[in-house]
Amino acid sequence: MDGITRSLDEQALVRTAHRVLPAGGFGNFASDIIIREGRGGRVWDVSGNEYVDYLLGSGPMFIGHAHPEVTEAVLAQVPRGTTFFANNEHGIRLAEVIVEAMPCAEQVRFVSSGSEADMYAMRVARAFRGRDRILKFEGGYHGMSDWGLMSLAPKRLANFPTAVPDSAGIPKSARDEVLVAPFNDLDAARALIEAHHDELGGVILEPFQRLIPPAPGFLQGIRDITAQYGIPLIFDEVVTGFRFAYGGAQSYYGVTPDLCTLGKIIGGGFPLAAIAGRADIMAHFDRGIVGDDGFLMQVGTLSGNPVAALAGLVTLEVLRRPGAYEQVFASGRTLMSGIDGMLRKAGLPAQIVGEPPLFDVVFSAEEVRDYRSTLRADAALQKHFNTQLRAAGILKGDSKYYMSLAHTAEDLEQTLQAFAGAIAALPRKVG
């Protein structure tokens, strides 16, 4: 079944990893595969096995691995210095491009990771609003901070708005600072915001939650109720920024928040993220405007790193070219349509959930609208397909096909053939 072979060198590296790294990895992906290189829409492991890559580094490589223009620019910058802890031209130019692209962005503050961006976005909203509590949506991922790791994937379900920590080591007091609402339930969210509006420093959500698109009117309804009470609305666009459209999900869905967070694509494969938003809120990063009491300290050794900023600038220049997004959407639709047809023909209880640049199969006949509906999917079927796909040279995460500008017709055909093989390999029921 498995067309993947492991060299002695890779097996030795895996053993070393399990000796020196907790659980044998970096905390991200499966520890039994070690990637050596990537080009375009494909990667190779240390054993030389080749994969069509829908992991894409968890999304940053939207124009493909080792894009020649990005590589050329980075190699030209490295001899000139890799970090300065001071303003640099590339970072300033990238901030200007973000302000021009994102509807909510009047100013930008750079950090190094999406987790940092989300943490600071919540903090600056609280500073602006003068309130401590944050409302988020169950199943929404907002990084690794204490507040972000509330009710992302709770193993036990609680009554809303009770927050459930997703990690050990989170202080009990942090639970009281987060309220949780069900995604795509506007009535429930509106009722919670109305009941707690005097306590809320901000509302944060992924406009496209993991795989789940917003229901018609949901985002606009949240925008309206937060605006009514003057509560900053934060769109976490670390994943969707520059992926669904050049202006992000806020442009794609036509709803403008007060703040957004960005990451992944804006760094072109290097560590870079940002908070962007209204100037009067972003002013809390400027002591000269808000004074000592309103000032939000934010310092990062690599914030606005010139190599990362330049890689991001080149990436965004590629995405501005005519036809770029049309190509990504067309590739995504080809896979979605082909997979859906096979699922229907096989009579499997499954559906495609997501948008063409980012989607997956959910093995459930029930409509997927929120986190709790995903729990009723068939996890064993999902595992079977992911295992079979990887054996056929298709690399993806547990959930998500990340599409890229670099995926070719050959990549898509190989993927569809692998999916057909995974259906054929399903255990047959007897009797």
Catalytic residue annotation: 141, 236, 264
Q: What are the structure tokens assigned to 351, written together? A: 């559906």
Q: What number of residues does the chain have?
A: 431
* CB-count burial class (<10 Å; 0-12, 13-18, 19+) for 378: middle
Calpha distance 5→48 (Å, rounded): 9
Contact call for residues 403 and 356 (beta carbons, < 8 A): yes
Calpha distance 376→363 (Å, rounded): 9
Of 185, 183, 274, 278, nearest to 236 (Cα)? 274
Cβ density class 386-413: b for 16+ within 10 Å, e for less: bebbbbbbbbbbebbbbbbbbbeeebbe
